[in-house]
Each structure stands twice: as structure tokens, then as C-alpha cells.
Structure 1
Amino acid sequence: MKKILTILGAFILLLFAGLLIFIFLHSPQYDGEMKLKGLGDQVEVHFDKYGIPHIYAENETDAYRAMGYIHAQERLFQLEMMRRVGSGTLAEFLGKDLLEVDQFFHTLGIPKHAKKSSAAFLAQGETPWKKAAEAYIAGVNEFIENGKLPVEYTLLGEKPRPYTFEDMHSIVGYMSFTFAMGLKTDPLVTKMARELGPDYMNSLSVQTLSEHHVIPVNYPDSLQKDSATIRQNLTALLEKLPAPLLEGSNAWVISGSRTKSGKVLFNNDTHIGFASPSVWFEAHIEYPGFSFYGNHLAGVPFGLVGHTRHHSIGLTMFENDDQDFFEEKLNPSNPNEILVGDSIFPISSRKELIKVKGQEPIEFEIRETIHGPIMNPVVKEIADLTSNPVASWWVYILEPTKALEAIFKMNHANSIQEVADAAGLIHAPGLNIMYGDSIGNIAWWAAAKLPIRGEKVHSKIFADGSDPAAQPKGWYPFTDNPQSINPEIGFVASANNQPDSMRNGVFFPGYYYPGERWNRIAKTITSRDDWDQESIQKLQLETLNEVAPKNGQFLLSHIKQEDFSDYSDALDAVQNWDGVHDLNSEAPTVYYKWLYHTLRLAMLDELGEDGLKAYLETFMMIRSTRHFLTHEDNRWWDTKGTDTKETREQIITEALKISLDELNAQFGKDSDDWEWEKAVSVEHPHPLGSQKPLDKIFNVKTDAVEANEEAVNKLAFKLNGEGVYKVTSGPAMRIILDFADVEGSVSVLPTGNSGNRFSGHYADQKNLYAKGKYRPQLMNEAEIKDKSKGKLLLVPAED
């Protein structure tokens, strides 16, 4: 027995030792000395309590080379996923299940555009942004060659190829694709317009309604106060993406006239799909003449959000409509040509080879008209709608992107004018650039290249490609774009809602949200003039939705409450709901279930299962719900194919019956047990987490959060019949900065700063985030070095 126990003990010891060695071989290095090729001088990297690197270099090139190495150490696999999405090479890495995703992105044109943008970037010559990006790439490749690769590569039996400028532009292309709202929405709107007609459309908010809140604009004379073939629909296809999509965001900048300190107060929380790791990587870079603390995308050297001691930049999605679809008319005598008026234009064709792991490459044909690539073969919703070719006219692929130059210039700007000039370089995707500085300026620019559409084009319905009056007419100048510089009201804010008219009077269309978040932000900010970093946290964490309880009370007014006396407590909870999504409240549990079944019963017969699901996942559902419920001439209430004409009251009553039965079965008969907390789940999924048991290793779960659809602290989920609401997106960081104390700014990430599973910083912020807590963004050198949890010294190595 002793011998058996000895052998067993030795085996366990060897297994444990092997596990430790395995973990060591795949863990990030936070201490010691490391040789790095190409460095001119040594670089110190101090890691704080949360694993955020503070990089101290003697020059810009060394700083960005070190940044590339450290960024790869922490986020290489995330970089891998993002570059492969944008380059259409997922199937090569993950297998044939991702082939259709690759075909979609190749057809959309992002890989082709990345090549064009990379060539244009390099053709600029030895610009500062090119030198910095080049150094960053060298640092990434140094880690790929000599660093300890993350465990995901071992599990997949793969090794990363070198990182390139083309990869970097593929990642920018992925970011520009963002939320795909045009592709999700326009086929659905076109289908409804063609099959149902204007009576049905009038009960929806296809365009912004008068009751929605718009962002006020302010165009000053001066910028400164001071002289300083597919089997799946698109929704199912996008669910396969191993990288999160950008979805929304809040940002507001408060003038010193409304703050306790008299200095600008800056706030930003970008809304992005939940993932492990979360999308932003925080890093602080210092070298002579430059000090910047930023939030970076994997593979991108410059911070899309961040601050110096002089200025801060943030962003939200503009949500402008920059993608149109042209239904082409084929030349009857030649199917490889289209007609536009009396003119004939050829359909070009090219073949691209898509590599697939474990099998032979697939040759894939892409056809294009003068309007763009033909999308029927890769978007089921379009193929089901028409047999005519439908081309995607998307602003992003029409010219090389200058996003890297723009972001570099914003990071290194010395004045508000320099940031404005950099914002003007962004052609797509549309971004709201938010700005504040130490001398009191606040600003917002809607940054995008906005097209002048043909007079016969409805921005969300397929255009007639053969009509000369439907053709694009050119571009509005950037100076006409919506913007607000130092407004008298004392703040600027954006929350993905409609900007007011441009300088030229154009009310530019988009996929805007109704502005409830913006309204709460605006009302709250203007309620006092002594805001500080601590007091503003309450607004950033607010889960109050003012419209949801109004909708709930409207629903209640269209039923006979005496018919539901057994559930009077639950209905009273809805009647008295203030719109706060408290975890102990049953009101949101009842409301969202009831709303779902109301919309389902009203719309399923017209839209079908796929159409209803698509509708519930677009901006249009949130923007339309209040109008849909209250519109007196709503045709959707009547069920098609029945002899009787169903009414709003019948549909709402039936929806409540179904909802109460389902809640009874789900949570029990006592409505006091229908707490919102029990209906909500939160998980940050990893690309490999879809395979069990890897979900237990890589996915990050947290306690329930106050999930909501359109409060300031937007923690979004999909309406569904199951009554279990998985929070799929939310703030990807929460930043608050008071220019009275730049070094005391705070933030928090949803999971952690590292994407390496064996790092202690993989998920060390998840509890802070779930509980609405913050941690510092350190910039004081003495404090950083005093509190450093690890010091990595990078020294020049012989080439």
C-alpha cells in the first residue's frame, strides 16, 4: 500500500510540476530584464496593481516598439482574431465552419480595402505616424518570434504569422464594419415597404420622429477660448464572429462653468459586445515631450480613447447611414452588364482564394457593379428579397482609410484645432469625437464623410440602380458636419442619437437611437453646477429608463386588471415602476416578457420568425416601441389570415396571459420571487469558449447586473421568449477625468487588462465593474514606481 501511495504521490507531484511548467511557458512576464531588437535605449515598463503597463522610453520609436511587444504579450490572440475577421482568413485558422463568414467579408470588400489602405499609408513616406506604427509592428513581431505564446495557439495547433501593415488595416476595417446596422436593417425595411406598404411603416420609426431627442449643434467662428451562397441569415452569421462588435456608447464633457473645480470634467463609456478579453487595452506611454494614457484596440498602436495632461479624447458611434443598396437592372442582351438610364456599365468579376484548415482552398467569385459588390450570394435576407443583383455602396471601401493618421494626430495634438483637423480625416465609420482640455475647451464633432444622396434615394430602402436620379451626387464638406464647440449650455454629449441639422440645414439620416440616454444625461447635467469626479459617477452608473414604465402603464391601461386578480401584486409593480432596473424588482421581469409577446403576437404573421428576430435586434425596435404601442392607426394589431379583426386590447391581453403563465412556470406562483436578478445572466465569452469544457476555462462570468435596454448605464440584451436575458453588451470601460486633477482620473474594464488566461489580470476587474466601482488611471511617475507590482526592463539586443 505504501508503495502504491508513494507512486501515486510521485505521479501527482509530476503532474503538478508539469502544470506549473505549462503555465509558466504561456504566462506573461512582468518582471526582470529582456533584450529587444531595434531599441536605441533601454525602456522601463512598470505594471501597476491591475496589470496596466506604464512605459518609460527615451524616444518615440523605442516607446512604440515596447508598446508593440507588451501589447502582443497581453493581447496576441485577440489581435489574431481581429486581423483574421478583417482579412477574411478565419477558416484558415479555425476551420470550415467559418468559411461563410470569410466569404461575407471578402464580398463586402474589407480585405481588398486593407491592401489598398496599406499601400496608401506606406506611400506617404516617412511620416511620424508611419514610423511609430512600424516600430509597433516590429515589437509585435519580436514577441511572435521570441515570446511565450498564449495557450490558445497550443490548443489549436497553430502558430501566428508575422504582423503586417495590411493586418493593421484589416483590424481598422473590422472596426469600421462595427455593428452592421445597414445590412441588418435595410433588407428588412425594404421587405416591409414592398410587402406591407406605408400603413404598416407609419407605425414604426424608420426615420427619426419629432418626439425623439436630438443633439444640439453649435458652430462657432473660432474653435478656441484661448490661444492653445449562403445557408444562414446575416444575424446567425455575425453570431459566429470571434471578436466583439462596436455597438453604441455614451460620452459627455462638462464645462468648468458647471463643475466644482471650475475645470472641464470628461466622461466616456463605449458600448461594445461583451467578450473575454474585453476590447480595450489600457497603456500609459511616456517619452520626452509626450505623455499619454490610452485605450487601445489589439493591433493598433494609438489610443482611440485617451488623454494627455492637456487634453482628452473620447468617442461614441455616430450611427450615420453610410451604406446604401442598389438593386441593379441587367442588360437584357448581356447579363454581365447593368443599365443606368441610357448608359451601359459592365459587371466586373474577380476570384479570391480562401484557405480552409484541413482541406483544399476554396475559390470564391466576387462580382461588382459601379455601385459596389453584389451581396445576394452572401446575405440570405437580400437573396430572399429579389433575384436581381443588389450592390452594396459603402462609404468605407470607396477610398483608403486615414484612421491611423487621424488617431496618431489626436493623441499628439497640442490644440483643439489640431484635433478638429484630425477628425476631418475620418471618412468612415462615423464617430462622435468628444474633446475636453485643461484650458476650458469642450467640443464634439460628428466625424464622417457624409454623402449627398440622389433625390430618389430613401436611405433605408433599396434604390433603383438604373435610375439616374438615384445616383450619389458627391460629398458634404466636413465643416458642415454636426458639431458643437464651447456651447453656452455648458456641456456636450452624445449617446448614439440623431444630431440636429447640419450647418447647411440637412437633417442627416442614420440608425440613431431615440435619445433617452442623451435626455437623461442632459437633464442631469443641467440640474446643478458643482459636478465633480465622484458625484458624476451616479449618472454613469444609472439604470433608469424613463420610457419603459410609461410603456408598462400604457399596456396596463389596455387590459381589464380584474381578469388578472391572482397577479395583482405583479401588475402593481409594473404600475408603480420608476424605470430603475433594480435587481430585487419584479417589474422589469414582467415588463420585458410582456413587451416581447406583445410585439411577437402583433408582428410574427407579417414578418415571420427570421424577420421578427431581425427586427428585435435592430435600433428600430428600441426607437419604434413607444410609437408602435400608442399609434392609433397601427395595422400590425390585426392578425393576417383570420376572419376577425384583432385589436390592440386583444393582443396586449393575450400577451399578458402568456407572459404570466410562463413566469409562473419559470419562477413559481409567487410574483415576489420574480426578481430581475433571477432573469439576468452575464458572461464574457472567449472565442474558444463555445467549445465545452473550454468555456469553464476561458469565459468570464460575473454576478448579475441591472440589465436594461436604454438607460445611461446601458447593459443590453435581446428580447426573447425564454425570459432569460443574457447581457450581450455594455460599457467597455467607464472613464471619468477632472482636469483639476488629471493624475487622479479613474476607469474600469469589464474583465481585465490582460487577454492571457494565465495572467492574474485576466479578470481582476470583473467584480469592480459588476458592482459599479472604479480604479485609478495612474500617471504620476513617483506614485507609479512606488506602487509598481512589476518592473520589466527592456534593453537593446544585437540585431
Structure 2
Amino acid sequence: MKKFKKVLIVLAVLLLVIIFGAFLFVSGLKPDYEGQKTLPGLQSETTVFFDTYGIPHIYSDNEADAFRALGYVHAQERLWQMELLRRVAKGGLSEVFGKDLIETDKFFLSLGIDDYTTETVSKLDMDSETIMLSNAYLDGVNEFIKEGPTPIEFYLTGLEKTSFSLEDVYNAVGYMAFSFAMAHKTDPLLTNIKNQLGEDYVNDLAVDSDTSTTWIKTFKNSGLDSIDVNITASVSRALEKLPVPQFIGSNSWVLAPEKTKSGKVILANDPHIGFAQPSVWYEAHMSTPSYEKYGYHFAGVPFPVLGHDRNLAFGLTMFENDDIDFYFEETHPSDSTKYKTEEGWKAYEFVNKNIKVKDGDDIAFTYKKTRHGPVLNNIAKEIKGERPIAMSWIYTQVKNQVVDALYGIGHAENMNEFEAELPKIHAPGLNVMYGDAAGNVAWWATAKLYQMPDSLSTKFVLDGTTGEQERLGYFDFSENPSAVNPPWNYVYSANNQPDSIAGMLYPGYYLPENRAMRIVQLLDSKNDWDKESTSEMILDVTSTVNPALVTELIKLLDVTHLSEEQLVQIDALKNWNGEYTLENTNAVLYHRCEYYVLKNTFEDELGPEQFNQFLSTHLLKRHIAKGTGMSSGKWWDNVHTTDKIETRDDIVLKSFADAWQSLINDFGTDFSQWTWDRVHTLEHQHPIGSVASLRSFFNVGPYPVKGTKEVINNMAFPYDSTGFYKVNSGPSTRRIIDFSDIENSISILPTGQSGNPFSKHYKDQAELFVNGEFRKMMMNRQEIESKAESILTFSKE
């Protein structure tokens, strides 16, 4: 018995030792928010005040030291995110996650971002302010890598920490430039539809923006071979496995003094990006005698992409312009190393890459390039047929000055200096939104726009052999869409079509008018906006378009086929105001019906795989309103039925019946249970959270959330057969900058400032975000010091 007690005591002691050791281990993995550290290269003491939400307020006597401190604190919160992001362009994800990411690595290697970065960095002026401050930032990142604790993800994946370089900064910007891959999802699919089904089917789609919809107003003071082209499927799979979020869309508006109660400018911005954990932006406030900025930073990039100070503020949305074109090439009949051009046969360039694979052998990967870009046939295995297809992307074909532009706009002191930096942004295409304390408001579409031959649609795969479908030249930046201090006293963007500029409409993958219409409706309705009313508007969950679609669809229902219960719900739908609150039942019935209308319209011609690809495009979003209003068209008939030709009325009636039955199957016949909160949820997913046992530790949520796709509070989701709408993208932050009270401007992050799951700031904003709440962006030093939760000081060695 005594021996048994001794064994129990020994086991208890061992358990305590293990628990204590685990506690010490976990404590050692947390970020340091207080104390004193030395930082190599520092010229003067630099102090970081962390506020209640872990936002660093960095004070230093010079910019280089401030950026060194920024690099350190950014890395201690987001090193894992930085690591993944720099690996995307280099094809390094398989080394972390194994063979499932090989296709993703091949795709991103073929984009040529990494090779383009190498060329760009080799030509940099290392003595420029941009590079000197970038290197100072990297010094801070690398000091944390050397001396700081290793994030838990590195232990779980067995990955070694390695230092960061300028190449990593430019590769991160290159991934941002790739953004949303809408051309890859759309152009090959449209080419398939034209080749397989014919021009009539294409003509019945909303390929181009409708001229009757809401466009962004500008203001200035002054014939191919039939081939199975299924790039779309490969790209979709590659992007589904991508462990970092993609840029999607965004809202922004800037109100001139004439539109505000205070007579001062207000800027609102909520960039729409894929939800993930950690979220995209790292907030930091930096102050030196020569520079101050409250900025939002992309992982591994020193200069803020969104920001403000006491003089000016800027935000962004995606322009959605078309900067990727696909070309059919023709290989020489007897020499497979050559391809056809209008000047004769040219030699393919062969690019050799090596992909490291976790728990597997390295993979040697080779692809061909033409004058247009990489040939996708060896990359996207779904491309069947012998004819090569090459991708031409503007990002890798023009001098790269994007990092210089970010430095420049962050250091601009007025509108003229700010605007002078914008031509340096050639990709991604951005709507840059601007407001300042002097009362100026402006919007510029920044991209290297180019002209194509008349009547040539870049939404289809082009002929690369004749020289007749090549770019004719670039537009000067002055011809880009823009509006500076327009007479209607505001500027806005909701990723919709901008009005004509230089006598033409620029092609793109613009989103439908839904959000734009609501923004214009609200902004036009009043001239006394303030911070509070603007914060209510940025949370708006009303669709002005969907109730109109409901009205149109209900007209087509033959009520003699409906039960009494169905008629009650139809009557409720008729009176729906388009709001997407958690308790709403009309929204659930509408989206079930809409999905089945799409499925019953398109799936018979496209097949299940291409139908699902179609659902992921902006083209589909634009088509919903157009298609609903089409009384006749090629798509309505079900090609699988031979005894009749289906009409729009037939499809709508069948779709309502399918939706009704699916809701009964899911929620029963108590219609009060068909509420939006049961189907519309948000979970912020960490790459390692895909492991079931680790999900609750790494992921944040799920939460039922208000809003839906294409309302101002754009909580977007993909349609699929489940009928449950898992939100995958939305506001990556909500910011409201009020120049009448700049030190009390407000914002919020979707989860928290930290990417370290052991930090208390890992998810301390998540419920605030879901509930539509905000927090201050402090800029007053006295207030910052008095309310600081902790202080971290960096000193010279």
C-alpha cells in the first residue's frame, strides 16, 4: 500500500512538473508587450505604447528606428502569416502542408511573380529612402526571428525560421497584385460556353455591364478553334487550398464638407477580403519628428496600404479592371520547341522550378513561356487538346514601382503630392480613395490600362498567332477614371463599372450595382453626415435590388399550384424590405429560391463542374438581375427533356418547389424557424484549424452574422447545394476617419491584432466586429500614454 502511495505521489509530482513545464513553454510563446529590449542598428531609444487592443503606438526620434521597431512588433504578432505569404509566390506551400498544395505551388510559380521580383530587386537603388526604410523594417523582423520565441505553428509543422529579405517584401506585394483571379475564373469558362454551346448562349449572359445600372461617375476639370479550356477548374482548386486570404472587392466613400454636419471631410472604407485567422491587416501608429501615420499593414510589407494622419486619409477598393488576357498559341508541326507568331516561328522559353514537398520527394517542374507569358497546359491539367494557351499578365510586364508608391502615398503631405505617386501602381488595379483636412475629396482608378483593337472582347481566349489581337499601347495615367472634388460633393466605389473616360469604357470584372445603388441612394438623401450616421451606413444590411427581383419572380408563380402555407410565405416575401437581420425568414426563402433558379437554368447545359465554376464568378452576380428579367432566352430550356421546351415560368415554379422542400427537409414545417441566423455564419479559419482536433484552438467562431452578399455590410458566401451560407469574405476592417475630430476616428478588425493564439489580442475584437461595434484609433500622445496597457522600450546595443 505504501509503495502504491509513493507511486501516486511520484506520478502527481511528474504531472505537476509537466503542467508547470507546459505553462512555462506557453508563456514563452506569447508576444512581449512590455519591458526593455535592444535592437541592432538603432540610433535612439524607441518606445512602443500598446493600447487596450494591442495596437502599437511607436514613438522615435527618426523614421529608420521607428520602422525597425515596427518590423519587430509586426513579426512577433504575425510571423506565421508573413511566412506563408512569402511562400506563395515562390511555390513554397507544399514544403509546409505536403502534397495537397502541389497544384497551388505550380499555379503561383507559373505566374512569374518570384522571377519578376528577382529582376526588380536587382535593379533597385539601395540608397533610396524606400529601400533604406524597408531594410530597417526587415532588420526588426529578423531580430525577432533571431531572438524572439518561435510561433507554435512552426513547431506543429516542423518548419525552421529563416530571415526575411527585400525579395520577400516584393513577393508579398506581388501576391496582393494577383488579388482575385477573376480572369482565370471567367475567360476560359466563357470560351468553353461559346465553343460548346454557341454565341446565342453567350449573348444571353451579362458579359458586359448593363448601361442602365449605377456606374461610378467620373469628373475632371479639365474566331477560334473549338477546344476544352478548363483552366477554371484548376485555378479554383488551387485557390481553395490557398492558406492566405484573397482580395475580393470593397466599399468606400468620401464626403466633402458640403455633405457633412461639421463642414469637414469624412472618409469611410471597408476593403472586402477573404476572412481568415489571423485577419489581413496589422494596425500600427508611428510618430517621429518627420513622419506620422496611423496605418494598416500587409504582412511583410513595411508601408501601410490604408492610412491617415492629421492632414489626409486614404483607403482603397479593388478596381476590378481586366489586366490578364489568355492567348491560343500554335506549336510548330515538326519542332515542338517553337511557336507561331506573325513574324515567323519563335522558340519557347523553358522555365525549370523545383518544389519541395513535406514528407515527400522534391518535384521538378517545367513550364513553357511565349511572348505572352506562361503556357498553362502543363500547369492546368484540365486543359485538353494540343493547342497551347498562354497567359499575359500586366503585373510582370511593366516596371515594378508599387513599393515606391506605397512609400510615396504614406509620406505625401497634400493632395498633389499624393496624386503624383499613383501612376507607379500598375497592378493590382485599385480605386484609391482620398480625403483631407483642407476639404478635398478624390477618387483615382490606379492601373496600367491598355488599349486593344476595336470590337475585340478580352473576355474570351484570344488568337496569339496573327498579331492582330495584341495590345495597341498604354493609356497615360491622366486618362484613367477619376473624380476630384466633383460638384455632387462625394466620391465612392463599390467595385462597379466606372463611367467612360477617354471616350471608352474600360473592360473589367465589375460587380453588379447592388451596393453602388444603395450607397448612392443613402448619400444623396442627406447633407448632414457625421461619424455616427456614417458608422450606421457602413453597417447597412438592406438590399435595394433583391426585393425587386422577388417581385419579378413572384409574378411568374402560378398560385393554383401553391398550398395555403406557401401563399402565406409568398405574401411575406412581397412585403420584404430587403433587410438581412438575424431573425429574418424572407431572406432564407429568397436565397434558396435564387440558388435553385440558377441551378435549374444553367446546370443542364454546363454540367455540375462548370456550373459550380460559374457560381464563383462576378459574371454570375451580374447575370442574376438580367436573367430574372429575361422572359425568353436559350438558357431556360432544359436540354435533358425531349417532350417539351421549358420557359422561365416553368423554371421559377420548379425552383420554388425545390427550395420549399429543401427548407422543410432542413428545418421542418415551423416557418418561424427559417431564420437567417441558422444559415448565415462566419468562422475565421486558421490553416491549421482544418485539423479537427485543433479547430477550436486556432479558428475563431462560428458566429451567426447579419448582412449578405452585395449589401454594404457585405458578408459574402458561395452558393452551393447545402443551402447553408458560410461567409468566406467581407469587411477586412471598417474605418471611419472624421477630420472634424481626427483623434476620435474609429475602426475595427474582424478578430484581433495578434496572429498568436496565446495572445489575449488573438480574438478580442471578434464579437465587437460581429455586433457592429467600433473602437478608437488613438493619435493623441497624452491620451495614448495615459491609457497604455503596457510599454515596450527598444534601446541601442
Same structural fold, with TM-score higher than 0.5 when normalized by the shorter chain: yes
User: In the TM superposition, what whole-angstrom CA distance separates every residue of 1:583-631 from its partner, at most 9, and x where no partner exists?
Assistant: 1111111111111111111111111111111111111111110111211
Secondary structure of the corresponding residue to residue 166 of structure 1? helix
Counterpart residue number, 2:745: 745
Shift of 1:664: 0.4
Match 1:37 to one of 28, 37, 40: 40
Counterpart residue number, 1:647: 647
Cα distance in structure 1, aligned partners of 2:756 and 2:374: 38
Shift of 1:359: 3.1
Shift of 1:465: 0.9
Tell me, yes or no, if the aligned pair for 1:116 and 1:400 is still in contact at 8 Å: no
Cα distance in structure 2, aligned partners of 1:792 and 1:202: 62
Shift of 1:342: 5.0
Shift of 1:12: 4.3
Counterpart residue number, 1:678: 678
Kindly provide the amino acid, as one letter, of the partner of residue 371 in structure 1. H
Q: What stretches of structure 1 move > 6 A for 4+ residues in a row?
A: 229-232
Cα 1:417/1:307, change in 2 over 3 Å: same
Match 2:16 to one of 13, 17, 21: 13
Counting only pairs closer than 5 Å after superposition, residues 220-619 of structure 1 correspond to structure 2 as 220-221=221-222, 233-380=234-381, 383-384=383-384, 386-455=385-454, 457-502=456-501, 504-565=502-563, 566-619=565-618
Shift of 1:719: 1.0
Cα distance in structure 2, aligned partners of 1:24 and 1:727: 33
Counterpart residue number, 1:794: 794
Tell me, yes or no, if the aligned pair for 2:581 and 2:706 is still in contact at 8 Å: yes
Cα 1:244/1:626, change in 2 over 3 Å: same
Secondary structure of the corresponding residue to residue 772 of structure 1? coil
Q: Please say if 1:62 is aligned against 2:65.
A: yes
Tell me, yes or no, if the aligned pair for 1:178 and 1:246 is still in contact at 8 Å: yes
Shift of 1:685: 0.4
Cα distance in structure 1, aligned partners of 2:232 and 2:292: 50
Cα distance in structure 2, aligned partners of 1:561 and 1:169: 60
Tell me, yes or no, if the aligned pair for 2:638 and 2:646 is still in contact at 8 Å: yes
Secondary structure of the corresponding residue to residue 521 of structure 1? helix
Cα distance in structure 2, aligned partners of 1:132 and 1:575: 59
Shift of 1:345: 2.0
Counterpart residue number, 1:224: none
Counterpart residue number, 1:783: 783
Tell me, yes or no, if the aligned pair for 1:702 and 1:766 is still in contact at 8 Å: no
Cα distance in structure 1, aligned partners of 2:455 and 2:520: 36
Tell me, yes or no, if the aligned pair for 1:113 and 1:400 is still in contact at 8 Å: no
Cα distance in structure 2, aligned partners of 1:568 and 1:235: 40
Counterpart residue number, 2:697: 697
User: In the TM superposition, what whole-angstrom CA distance separates every residue of 1:236-277 from its partner, at most 9, and x where no partner exists?
Assistant: 221100100000001110000110110100110000000001
Q: Unmatched 5+ residue regions in structure 2?
A: 223-229
Shift of 1:306: 0.4
Kindly provide the amino acid, as one letter, of the partner of residue 185 in structure 1. T
Kindly provide the amino acid, as one letter, of the partner of residue 782 in structure 1. Q
Shift of 1:173: 1.0
Shift of 1:107: 1.1
Tell me, yes or no, if the aligned pair for 2:631 and 2:648 is still in contact at 8 Å: no
Tell me, yes or no, if the aligned pair for 2:63 and 2:290 is still in contact at 8 Å: no
Cα 1:702/1:790, change in 2 over 3 Å: farther
Counterpart residue number, 1:715: 715
Tell me, yes or no, if the aligned pair for 2:377 and 2:389 is still in contact at 8 Å: yes
Tell me, yes or no, if the aligned pair for 1:680 and 1:727 is still in contact at 8 Å: yes
Tell me, yes or no, if the aligned pair for 2:91 and 2:106 is still in contact at 8 Å: yes
User: In the TM superposition, what whole-angstrom CA distance separates every residue of 1:42-72 from its partner, at most 9, and x where no partner exists?
Assistant: 1100000000000001101101011001100
Secondary structure of the corresponding residue to residue 356 of structure 1? coil
Cα distance in structure 2, aligned partners of 1:525 and 1:16: 58
Tell me, yes or no, if the aligned pair for 1:319 and 1:512 is still in contact at 8 Å: yes
Cα distance in structure 2, aligned partners of 1:712 and 1:129: 36
Shift of 1:740: 1.0
Cα distance in structure 2, aligned partners of 1:735 and 1:524: 18
Kindly provide the amino acid, as one letter, of the partner of residue 252 in structure 2. A
Tell me, yes or no, if the aligned pair for 1:87 and 1:167 is still in contact at 8 Å: no
Tell me, yes or no, if the aligned pair for 1:570 and 1:586 is still in contact at 8 Å: no
Secondary structure of the corresponding residue to residue 443 of structure 1? strand
Kindly provide the amino acid, as one letter, of the partner of residue 116 in structure 2. H
Q: Unmatched 5+ residue regions in structure 1?
A: 222-228
User: In the TM superposition, what whole-angstrom CA distance separates every residue of 1:13-49 from its partner, at most 9, and x where no partner exists?
Assistant: 3333122112112100001111111101111000000
Cα 1:11/1:575, change in 2 over 3 Å: farther
Shift of 1:763: 0.2
Cα distance in structure 1, aligned partners of 2:634 and 2:31: 60
Tell me, yes or no, if the aligned pair for 1:35 and 1:795 is still in contact at 8 Å: yes
Counterpart residue number, 2:89: 86
Shift of 1:632: 2.5
Secondary structure of the corresponding residue to residue 331 of structure 1? coil
Cα distance in structure 1, aligned partners of 2:167 and 2:593: 48
Kindly provide the amino acid, as one letter, of the partner of residue 459 in structure 1. T
Q: Please say if 1:658 is aligned against 2:658.
A: yes
Secondary structure of the corresponding residue to residue 77 of structure 2? helix
Secondary structure of the corresponding residue to residue 376 of structure 2? coil
Secondary structure of the corresponding residue to residue 336 of structure 2? strand
Shift of 1:97: 1.7
Tell me, yes or no, if the aligned pair for 1:184 and 1:234 is still in contact at 8 Å: yes
Tell me, yes or no, if the aligned pair for 1:64 and 1:132 is still in contact at 8 Å: yes
Tell me, yes or no, if the aligned pair for 2:62 and 2:290 is still in contact at 8 Å: no
Kindly provide the amino acid, as one letter, of the partner of residue 298 in structure 1. A
CA RMSD for the aligned pairs? 1.6
Shift of 1:653: 1.1
Secondary structure of the corresponding residue to residue 117 of structure 1? helix
Secondary structure of the corresponding residue to residue 603 of structure 1? helix
Cα distance in structure 2, aligned partners of 1:236 and 1:621: 19
Counterpart residue number, 1:731: 731
Shift of 1:7: 4.9
Cα 1:176/1:231, change in 2 over 3 Å: closer
Shift of 1:387: 2.8
User: In the TM superposition, what whole-angstrom CA distance separates every residue of 1:132-171 from its partner, at most 9, and x where no partner exists?
Assistant: 0010011101011111121111111122211011111111
Worse overlay, 234-243 or 728-737? 234-243
Cα distance in structure 1, aligned partners of 2:567 and 2:730: 33
Cα distance in structure 2, aligned partners of 1:308 and 1:414: 9
Counterpart residue number, 1:774: 774
Tell me, yes or no, if the aligned pair for 1:549 and 1:577 is still in contact at 8 Å: yes
Tell me, yes or no, if the aligned pair for 2:45 and 2:794 is still in contact at 8 Å: yes
User: In the TM superposition, what whole-angstrom CA distance separates every residue of 1:622-668 from its partner, at most 9, and x where no partner exists?
Assistant: 11101112113311110113212111111111111111111001011
Tell me, yes or no, if the aligned pair for 2:189 and 2:232 is still in contact at 8 Å: no
Kindly provide the amino acid, as one letter, of the partner of residue 595 in structure 2. Y
Cα distance in structure 2, aligned partners of 1:12 and 1:549: 62
User: In the TM superposition, what whole-angstrom CA distance separates every residue of 1:541-563 from its partner, at most 9, and x where no partner exists?
Assistant: 00111111111222221112342
TM-score (norm 2): 0.96
Shift of 1:93: 2.4
Counting only pairs closer than 5 Å after superposition, residues 152-191 of structure 1 correspond to structure 2 as 152-191=153-192
Tell me, yes or no, if the aligned pair for 2:88 and 2:105 is still in contact at 8 Å: yes
Tell me, yes or no, if the aligned pair for 1:81 and 1:243 is still in contact at 8 Å: yes
Shift of 1:347: 1.3
Kindly provide the amino acid, as one letter, of the partner of residue 60 in structure 2. A
Secondary structure of the corresponding residue to residue 562 of structure 2? helix
